[in-house]
Amino acid sequence: MNLSALEAAIPGSSWRMGTTRQSPQAGHMDLLIRLTLRFILVPLGATLALVAATAIIVIAHRKALITLLEADPLVQQYYFIALLSAGPLLASLLSIWAFYALVPAAIGVVISEVLAIRSWMFHTANGGLSAWIAWALTQDIRDEYRFLTEPRILVAAGLLAGVAYWIVSGWTAGFWKPIRSPRRPTPPF
């Protein structure tokens, strides 16, 4: 039995180069699995990025929230009720800001997925730039409520959101590009 007959007897193997060959169906199935994983990982990464940015914004604005709670002496006795009344206001302000940040961030994510950009610097810059654009677009909210007025805090939140997105799904961007490159064939001796 010669070597090519042996290779034909064992499907998917190539003994000459020390590598395995994949059938076209296996390559398509691998691509389909990676695409399905992208549909799971990208929204998960975006959700965790939003949670990270919100946590930074709430921590940074805690003095303003406490000042709002202490503005009325009657409210001081009922912190829980005050938190229930001020909480939705803060949540609505954050959701408006997040909506304005979502569009540029989504454009950056689409670019990273199409071009398979897996750099942590790209995703961090995408988060920071998206946060700055959202800050620039929400001038009327800043003037009316005095929240979200400091661009450094918002950009820092965006940078952290970009890092959080990269940790979850940015490092594997591009469903058409495998995470690990295939092994190179070893040269024959």
The ranges assigned to domains in the chain are 44-172
Q: What is the arithmetic mean of pLDDT over 68-79?
A: 63
Q: Which residues of 158-187 are buried (b: 16+ CB within 10 A; e: fewer)?
A: bbbbbbbbbebbbebbbbeeeeeeeeeeee
**What integer pLDDT is reported at residue 74 of this predicted model?**
62
Yes or no: say if 124 and 32 are a contact pair by the CB < 8 Å rule.
no
* Across 62-66, 142-146, 167-171, least confident range: 142-146
Is pLDDT larger for residue 168 or for residue 182?
A: 168
Q: What is the arithmetic mean of pLDDT over 49-77?
A: 75
The tokens describing 86, both together, are 């001020």
Q: What is the arithmetic mean of pLDDT over 168-187?
A: 71
Is pLDDT larger for residue 76 or for residue 121?
A: 121
Yes or no: say if 41 and 172 are a contact pair by the CB < 8 Å rule.
yes
Specify burial of residue 128 (Cβ count, 10 A radius: 0-12, 13-18, 19+). Answer: buried
**What integer pLDDT is reported at residue 145 of this predicted model?**
64
Q: What is the arithmetic mean of pLDDT over 134-139?
A: 84
pLDDT tens-digit readout, 80-134:
666 666 667 667 777 777 788 888 999 999 998 888 888 899 999 999 999 999 8
Contacts of 61 (CB under 8 A, 6+ apart): 90, 147, 148, 153
